[in-house]
Chains A and B, each alone.
Chain A
């Protein structure tokens, strides 16, 4: 990628229960550079450490070794500076807050003035097309709508980076494909750098400008595949031969990963 790096991961290891006989190497010698404005997917089987890698970048887990730079800072400093927004598999909305007040949460925590964060939150709800639900409570929304609120919340403080940990994993196929389209539109509107964890090959190919394929036990990067399908991508993109070719290429890389062969 020609863009300057916004995230750089160098020689990162992560060992859980280190020193004990239950030690698990989740990540081994990971090198990864992510350019500004990229949409990167971390793809791999469960247990390959893709979520752990994301959490290391987000400073929610400390690496055992190696260095990580996020937006020119340590992950901890980037988190403190609120350089990223995060979306988890579950929306995790605060059930006592209305949709609007959920979206305002990051701005409130950051100490923004009330009129500022009210306006900003309304703008974010417009972005995810949920303006008319501003006054609703989370339990009144479907799972897909809750996840869109979570995306609006993650973006409300204008972060440079959006970390997404299997954000569509809990949704049914129909909702999932619709939200993938929404997500690309939002990415196009905001030009945020997105790091997206998934175990769905077609989801990774449809969304990403680059797919990083990981293998399990220990978690390693097996391949990095540029997806040169033109944006904007639509439902038709999924039916093109180029899309199928890319899916096949990624699938081969995934299945060619050493641990997959060992498992098969």
Chain B
């Protein structure tokens, strides 16, 4: 009767395990950065094509104050867009999944609309909400986040194992029980997958809308402005910060997933 157990190793071995897992990542990063620096130095690549990591780091150090203060507005727009888009997506999914006959056509329509490049709406949103308004940037992000969250959540609510439904039926469960005890928990992994996708989409949506103009205190505006000057090392510093923003949000969603779904299959590989 051997069973797997959740690993709850002591502090020392947990730290060692973490170091063991992070070492390959760190080594890869160092190798990539080193190669990047070496190739550009060796072949004398001009800075407007690609600056070296060292130049980007210097640019960041030089202009950190401006970059970070520009980031604040971008972070706000990303978070607002992510929140609006995911709440709207989940709420719509909850509504649509109550009418399974309607959900098929609605899902198809959503998938079709999702094929359109939502980012193209940015100038329109600037026009609607004002070019300097937070809402015009967050709005684009929200629309981009909405569709994957809506589509995935609806699928998660509807794709319930027939056996699970039958068990609830044999228990004479009311629709309310089926929704709360079966459909919602069943949809959680789908929701989190969509949210992870959504974090990247929200950052893309906000940065790209900022390219179309806005207050100078924004990461997208900063990148576009520096590239036009042209100060490509500074533009790259801005680009890397926006990448870090996407990564941080992705990490936060993953952490939330682990906290809320300790049972989930994708976490099993963590155990020994």
Contact = CB atoms under 8 A, between A and B. Distances in A.
B166 A95 contact: no
A142 B265 contact: no
Interface string A49-78: 000000000101000000000000000000
A94 B185 contact: yes
A82 interface: yes
Nearest to B4: A140
B166 A140 contact: no
A60 B167 CA distance: 10
Contacts of B263: 95-97, 137-139
3 pairs of A and B residues whose beta carbons are closest in the complex: A92-B163, A96-B185, A86-B170
Contacts of B182: 94
A79 B170 CA distance: 7
Best-surrounded residue of B3, B265, B268 (most CB of chain A within 10 A) = B3
Interface residues of B, number: 29
Interface stretch (B49-57, B111-119, B171-179): B171-179
Contact of B1 (A95, A138, A142): A142
A1 interface: no
12 contacts: A58-B170, A81-B172, A85-B170, A88-B163, A88-B167, A92-B164, A108-B177, A109-B173, A109-B181, A139-B263, A140-B5, A142-B2
A202 interface: no
Interface in B236-254: none
Determine the main DSSP class of A at the interface with B: loop
A238 to B, nearest CB: 22
A177 B263 CA distance: 30
A116 interface: no
Given A94-B182, A133-B3, A142-B1, A109 B163 contact: no
B45 interface: no
Interface of A: 58, 60, 79-82, 84-86, 88, 90, 92, 94-97, 105-106, 108-110, 133, 136-142, 145, 157
B161 interface: yes
A86 B3 CA distance: 26
Contacts of A133: 3
B124 interface: no
B253 to A, nearest CB: 18
Contacts of A58: 170
B261 interface: yes
A136 B4 CA distance: 9
B62 interface: no
B159 to A, nearest CB: 14
Given A92-B163, A92-B164, A96-B185, A139 B265 contact: yes
A141 B3 contact: yes
B100 interface: no
B170 A90 contact: no
Interface in B63-117: none
B177 A109 contact: yes
A233 to B, nearest CB: 23
A108 B268 CA distance: 28
Nearest to A136: B3
A226 B4 CA distance: 43
A188 B256 CA distance: 46
B227 interface: no
Given A94-B182, A94-B185, A95-B263, A140 B3 contact: yes
